Structure 1
Amino acid sequence: MSYPTLFTTPGVRQFAEDVDTERQAQLAKWGDQHHPDGTGYDGSNMHADFWRQRCQDAFADGEGTWGHVLLEEVFEAIAEQDPATLRAELIQVAAVCAAWIADLDSRGA
């Protein structure tokens, strides 16, 4: 019996397996955790706007980095109060992490 491929983007399967391994270690160490989101605080939109502009400026100047992209996505997530939108932003954070890791792996790091 043949099963469909779960991941089609190169590197995502390994990324997911590595994340799963880390989650298992976290669960073993701390158990299942539940914390407040801590998002949508006063000034969080200002921080998101700053990193969004900083990222755009860095790439416009030819100096953009993965760090710029990740911080933009993280601060966009931190600014969110709506759980569904927060989840979507966190997926974007994870996708940027996957892309950055794929880039590192492609360099033989």
Structure 2
Amino acid sequence: MSEQTNAVLAEVAAERAAQDAIFGQQDLPDGTGITGDVERANRARHVCDVMFERGEGTFRDVFYEEVMEAMAESDPVKLRAELVQAVAVGVKWIEAIDRRAAQ
């Protein structure tokens, strides 16, 4: 793993610690897999595909697709996998922002 990724993950860990300090442990319901979420995820996937086919794809498109896929999932194992993917795209996006800022 790169130093840049480690730095971003350290920031994420610090934010998680801050959340726990403020809110304590939270065991909320997932709230995913509700009516319409699968269709929204399919639309987000389609839009992402179209944008990249046009050469206009962005991190927003990819991140939104990953988040919507997570929102559509009701199976806890699959939901966890989708959330990992969404968070990984978020980390990658942050790394790209940091690289642009360093130029």
Task: Give the TM-score range, shorter chain.
Answer: over 0.9
Counterpart check, 1:57 vs 2:62: no
Larger RCO (alpha carbons 8 Å, 6+ apart):
2
The list of structure 1 runs, each at least 4 consecutive aligned residues, that deviate by more than 6 angstroms after superposition, is none
Give the 3 Å change call, closer, same or farther, for CA 48–14 of structure 1 in structure 2: same
2:73 aligned to which of 65, 68, 80: 80
- Counterpart position of 1:37: 30
**Pairwise CA RMSD of aligned residues?**
1.1
Q: Secondary structure at the match of 1:33?
A: coil
Task: State the identity as a percent.
Answer: 44
Residue of structure 2 in register with 1:22 after alignment: 15
Instruction: Number of aligned residue pairs: give it.
Output: 102
Q: Deviations over 1:7-37 (max 9, x none)?
A: x245221121101110111111111111110
Using the size of structure 2 for normalisation, the TM-score is 0.94
Match of 2:97 among 88, 100, 104: 104
Q: Higher Cα Rg: structure 1 or 2?
A: 1
Residue aligned with 1:11, SS: helix
Structure 1, unaligned runs of 5 or more: 1-7
Q: 1:11 aligns with which of 4, 8, 31?
A: 4
Q: Which has the higher helix share?
A: 2
Secondary structure of the 1:81 match is coil
Query: What TM-score does the superposition give when structure 1 sets the normalisation length?
Result: 0.89
